[in-house]
């Protein structure tokens, strides 16, 4: 990624950091401030989901590299993987959750940092995993009981799983894990140092701040929509038009809108049927997290295949 894009991402991180502080101060002053799970869902279905809505374009690019003409195979494979993830979540929810949290940690760490890192070594991949784990660890550390409640709403009924979580919470293992994540941030920061790498610590403190002041769902929504998704979208806009980001934004919106709308429609349909069996808030949480898991797996696999075959 060029210096112009790095500068844009640095400004984005700085603005996000300031806004996190402002909103956290408001939340601190107004103890009754609450954000509805429905608002979180709307943000995720619009801003959050849109950053993956060019996967069809990336799929076409991958098939051109592989010299496969029938793009319907891509759509079938993508949807099949998403459905398999949902089925596996229903059959073995706690295993699916653990795998999803590990993969999501790596994905968040890599996507939020790799534009600053030149070397693509296994060592850096491991640092990405540790760095991204903060997204999972921070809500558990600051709001343990609320996080456990969300896990229970996600069909996780294995008591051994919760006994294990109670153990790591009581033994302060979560704090040690956050320390490891902090160390990963430091190592990524000092390696081939440049001023724009302060982005890493702006993001780090932003994540801690929002998780301290807000509930796990709200904190995740703020991070996922306004840091992770916006950053990924900026990189896509740069790819679409590296000389004119405004034009890149227009092209991005035009290309991302169809799949964003289709995904949102399916989520609303799923919410309708889930609300027959579960209460509205529980149905929303299932749509957000299980739905995101089903989209994250094919999204990450696609990114990996493109990266591997381009080399």
CA nearest neighbour of 83 among 291, 300, 299: 291
Parent domain of 99: 3-20+41-310
**What sign does the dihedral 18-19-22-27 (CA atoms) show?**
negative
What is the full DSSP assignment across 119-142? Answer: ---HHHHHHHHHHHTHHHHHHHHH
Q: What confidence score (pLDDT) does residue 32 get?
A: 66
Domain-embedded: residue 27: no
Domain-embedded: residue 151: yes
Q: What confidence score (pLDDT) does residue 28 get?
A: 81
Domain-embedded: residue 26: no
Domain-embedded: residue 106: yes
Q: For the chain, list residues with pLDDT below 70.
A: 1-2, 32, 311
Domain-embedded: residue 31: no
Q: What confidence score (pLDDT) does residue 6 get?
A: 79
Q: What confidence score (pLDDT) does residue 185 get?
A: 96
pLDDT digits (tens, 9 = 90+) for 204-231: 999 999 999 999 999 999 999 999 999 9
pLDDT digits (tens, 9 = 90+) for 70-115: 999 999 999 999 999 999 999 999 999 999 999 999 999 999 998 8
Domain-embedded: residue 30: no
Cα 188 from Cα 117, distance rounded (Å)? 8
Domain-embedded: residue 35: no
Question: Total domain count for the chain?
Answer: 1
Domain-embedded: residue 16: yes
Cα 275 from Cα 270, distance rounded (Å)? 8
Q: What confidence score (pLDDT) does residue 192 get?
A: 81
Cα 108 from Cα 211, distance rounded (Å)? 16
Cα 110 from Cα 160, distance rounded (Å)? 31
CA nearest neighbour of 211 among 256, 280, 266, 144: 144
């Amino acid at each position: 990624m060029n210096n112009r894009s790095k500068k844009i991402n640095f400004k984005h991180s700085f603005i996000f950091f300031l806004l996190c502080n402002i909103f956290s101060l408001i939340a601190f002053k107004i103890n009754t401030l609450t954000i509805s799970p429905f608002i979180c869902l709307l943000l995720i279905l619009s801003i959050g989901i849109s950053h993956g809505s060019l996967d069809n374009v990336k799929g076409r690019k991958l098939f051109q590299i592989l010299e496969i003409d029938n793009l319907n195979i891509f759509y079938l494979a993508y949807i099949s993987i998403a459905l398999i993830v949902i089925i596996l979540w229903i059959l073995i929810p706690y295993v699916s959750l653990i795998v999803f949290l590990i993969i999501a940690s790596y994905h968040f760490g890599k996507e939020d940092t790799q534009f600053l890192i030149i070397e693509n070594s296994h060592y850096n991949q491991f640092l990405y995993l540790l760095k991204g784990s903060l997204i999972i660890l921070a809500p558990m550390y600051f709001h343990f009981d609320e996080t456990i409640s969300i896990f229970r709403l996600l069909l996780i009924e294995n008591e051994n799983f919760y006994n294990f979580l109670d153990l790591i919470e009581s033994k302060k293992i979560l704090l040690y894990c956050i320390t490891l994540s902090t160390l990963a941030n430091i190592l990524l920061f000092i390696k081939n140092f440049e001023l724009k790498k302060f982005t890493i610590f702006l993001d780090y403190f932003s994540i801690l701040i929002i998780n301290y002041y807000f509930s796990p769902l709200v904190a995740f929504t703020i991070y996922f929509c306004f840091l992770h998704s916006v950053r990924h979208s900026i990189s896509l806009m740069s790819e679409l038009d590296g000389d004119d980001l405004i034009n890149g934004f227009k092209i991005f919106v035009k290309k991302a809108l169809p799949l964003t709308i289709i995904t949102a429609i399916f989520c609303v349909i799923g919410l309708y049927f889930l609300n027959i069996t579960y209460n509205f808030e529980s149905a929303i949480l299932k749509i957000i997290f299980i739905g995101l898991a089903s989209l994250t797996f094919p999204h990450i696999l696609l990114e990996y295949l493109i990266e591997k075959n381009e080399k």
